Amino acid sequence: MRPTGVELRRVTLPLVTPFRTSFGTEYEREALLVRVVTPDAEGWGECVAMPAPQYSAEYLDGTVDVLRRFLIPMLADLPPASGPPAVDGLPAADGPPAVDGSPAANGSTAPAGPPRMAAVAVKALFAAVKGHPMAKAALQTALLDAELRSAGMSLAGYLGAARTTVPAGVSVGIMDSVDALLDAVARYLDAGYQRIKLKIEPGWDVEPVRAVRERFGDGVPLQVDANGAYTIADAGHLAKLDPFDLLLIEQPLPEDDLRGHATLARRIRTPICLDEPIISARAAVDAIMLGATSVINIKPGRVGGYLEARRIHDVCAAHGVPVWVGGMVETGIGRAPNITLAALPNCTLVGDVSGSDRFFTRDITPPFVVAGGSIEVPAGPGIGVDPDSGALDAATTGTPEWIRW
Residues 150/40, Cβ–Cβ less than 8 Å: yes
Residues 222/209, Cβ–Cβ less than 8 Å: yes
Distance CA 209, CA 350 (A): 19
- Catalytic member of 130, 197, 240, 299: 299
Distance CA 144, CA 117 (A): 8
Distance CA 384, CA 379 (A): 6
- Catalytic member of 123, 130, 197, 199: 199
Pairing state of beta strands 5-21 and 24-37?
A: antiparallel
DSSP secondary-structure letter at 67? I
What number of CA atoms fall less than 13 Å from residue 64's CA on the CB side? 16
Is 299 an annotated catalytic residue? yes
Is 123 an annotated catalytic residue? no
Task: Find all residues with CB under 8 Å of 40, minimum gap 6, and list them.
Answer: 1, 146, 149, 150
Alpha-carbon distances of 359 from 9, 27, 106, 388, rounded to whole Å: 20, 10, 36, 17
Distance CA 161, CA 347 (A): 10
- DSSP assignment of 192-254 equals T-SEEEEE-BTTBSHHHHHHHHHHH-TTS-EEEE-TT---GGGHHHHGGGGGG--S-EE--S-
Supply the residues annotated as catalytic.
Answer: 199, 299
